[in-house]
Amino acid sequence: MSSRYFRVPLEQIGYVRAIIEAYDGVALLRAPDPRRGEIEWMVGEGLEEEAELLVQRLTAEAGLIEIARPDDWPAC
Give the domain range for residue 62: 2-67
In this structure, what CATH number is given to the domain that contains residue 12? Answer: 3.30.70.100
**Which amino acid, 65?**
I
- Structure letter (DSSP) for residue 17: H
pLDDT in tens, the chain (76 residues): 899 999 999 999 999 999 999 988 899 999 988 789 999 999 999 999 999 999 999 999 999 999 999 988 877 6
User: What's the rounded Cα separation, in Å, for the pair 55 and 35?
Assistant: 21
62: in domain: yes
Number of independent structural domains in the chain: 1
For 49, the 3-state DSSP assignment is helix
